[in-house]
Structure 1
């Protein structure tokens, strides 16, 4: 992911009002290791029931290739007293991090979102997907693969994270078509 600025992120929200975008508490952008990110995501420290994710990439419109898009998310309410189940993040699909995955829900863009239409997906609670896809593969995942094969496997995971996260963004934006 390329380095993004605060004004660029605030202007990139596709499913938030100007007020919501202006009130978002952004992470320390200077501390980001941009080259190791496909997904920039964080929970709002002042409002823990809000989370944000920023993606850069093509979502079907040739004019927006490389454009930053930000999405306002809310964690879905969990049933009180229900045991927490292991889940797999639908973006990074990391099989070793199954304890800390949350169902996040995003209001769709445009009129559909204003009418209450939402879309949800399971994502790592702390948005660690970019780190997870870069971890060393386990023997269960790749067996006794060579270093070259392991590097290929890691790059595949990085590419698939980009595709799956951008597909989610496409679902959020699909609300703007109606």
Structure 2
């Protein structure tokens, strides 16, 4: 992923109004981000519980979405992240929703998916050993590629119908 400044990051969000953009808090370690090793950039808001951000390159352009994490916990024993396809204990996966971009978003339409609660998908797919006994170890490159594609597809779902 190409390096982004704070201003670049604020300009990427497709589903946020001016007031929401003003509230965006970058991660504490932002100046240490190693952009060369990121497939996408995601973080939990350090000041606002339940808010998170995800930026992926869609058609070569960084495109960001504001996310909301569902509160509560699951009674399931394990769950799978829909981005990195990593099995996790259920309390480490959360439902994240994003208001759709454009008119659909102003009417309250949103999309959601289950994602690693700490948004560490880009790290999880690079781990040397499986995270769960039932998880098969595939090619790391294939897992990285799949995670990038699924992340881009999620952002594209937020964008659907925005240009209309």
- Report if TM-score (shorter chain) is over 0.5: yes
1:59-115 Cα distance to aligned partner (Å, 9 max, x none):
xxxxxx2x1111001012337xx63542100000013x3340100000000000000
Matched, 1:164 2:150: yes
Structure with bigger strand share is 2
Whole-angstrom CA distance in 2 between matches of 1:37 and 1:123: 17
Residue number in structure 2 paired with 1:61 = none
Q: Does the 8 Å CA contact 1:89/1:98 hold for their aligned counterparts?
A: no
Q: Name the SS of the counterpart of 1:69 in structure 2.
A: strand
Whole-angstrom CA distance in 1 between matches of 2:4 and 2:108: 30
Larger radius of gyration between Structure 1 and Structure 2: 1
Q: Where does the alignment leave 5 or more consecutive residues of structure 1 unmatched? A: 59-64, 143-149
Q: Name the SS of the counterpart of 1:127 in structure 2.
A: coil
Q: Does the 8 Å CA contact 2:50/2:70 hold for their aligned counterparts?
A: no
Residue number in structure 2 paired with 1:51 = 52
Residue number in structure 2 paired with 1:6 = 6
CA drift of 1:34 comes to 1.6
Residue number in structure 2 paired with 1:136 = 128
Whole-angstrom CA distance in 1 between matches of 2:71 and 2:54: 19
Residue number in structure 2 paired with 1:174 = 160
Structure 1 segments (4+ residues) deviating >4 Å: none
Q: Name the SS of the counterpart of 1:9 in structure 2.
A: helix
Q: Where does the alignment leave 5 or more consecutive residues of structure 2 unmatched? A: none
Whole-angstrom CA distance in 2 between matches of 1:16 and 1:85: 34
Q: Does the 8 Å CA contact 1:137/1:154 hold for their aligned counterparts?
A: no
Q: Does the 8 Å CA contact 1:5/1:29 hold for their aligned counterparts?
A: no
Q: Name the SS of the counterpart of 2:125 in structure 1.
A: helix
TM-score normalised to the size of structure 2?
A: 0.88
Give the aligned CA root-mean-square deviation in angstroms. 1.9
